[in-house]
Amino acid sequence: MTQHIIKLGEGYGDLYEIHTLIKHMPDRIQHGIILHSEHPKKNTMHTSLLIVLSPTEIGQFTPIYGSFEGIKYDPTHNSKRVREFIDIVKSNTSVNHIHEFTVKHSDNFASFSQYEHYLIGLFRNYHLLKPLDFNY
């Protein structure tokens, strides 16, 4: 069993790739996740959008697709792209709750790999991902 974050990018086009994944594999979508983070030096808030898919039959690989920190975050209202993400997840899948977290910004880590481990640990802690099981 492996669980990995697949970083699609930071641009708006990547959000539409997430929308396409949702529309083409609605039965595999387990969770929609919104992450908010503050840049450590610029004091600006950013939003990331992620989807967690169910594990593959062979190998039990759990992909987590995400577009990271490409949307400016304003706590007074959701951006149009965040609203679109919520609508697409809820209208095309059986997911009825989008999980939302405030997390550390990726620039707080030496590499994206460290950031990935941090997020996967957070998702396991909140039972959005299964604990590792090497007996599949």
> How much of the chain exceeds pLDDT 70, in percent?
98
pLDDT in tens, 89-124: 999 999 999 999 999 999 999 999 999 999 999 999
Count of beta carbons in the 10 Å neighbourhood of residue 41: 8
Name the domain count of the chain: 1
Q: Which of 42, 2, 9 is nearest to 112 (CA)?
A: 9
Q: Say which range, 4-18, 42-56, 94-108, has the weakest mean pLDDT.
A: 4-18
Give the global pTM. 0.92
- Has residue 103 been placed in a domain? yes
- Has residue 135 been placed in a domain? no
Strands, DSSP E only, in 39-114? 45-53, 61-72, 98-104
- Has residue 116 been placed in a domain? yes
- Has residue 93 been placed in a domain? yes
- Has residue 37 been placed in a domain? yes
Looking up residue 30, the CATH number of its domain turns out to be 3.40.1530
- Has residue 133 been placed in a domain? no
| Residue 131 binned pLDDT confidence (cut-offs 50, 70, 90) | confident
Say yes or no to pLDDT of 21 above 60.
yes
Burial of 91 (0-12, 13-18, 19+ CB in 10 A): exposed
Task: Give the integer Cα–Cα distance in Å for 31 and 75.
Answer: 22
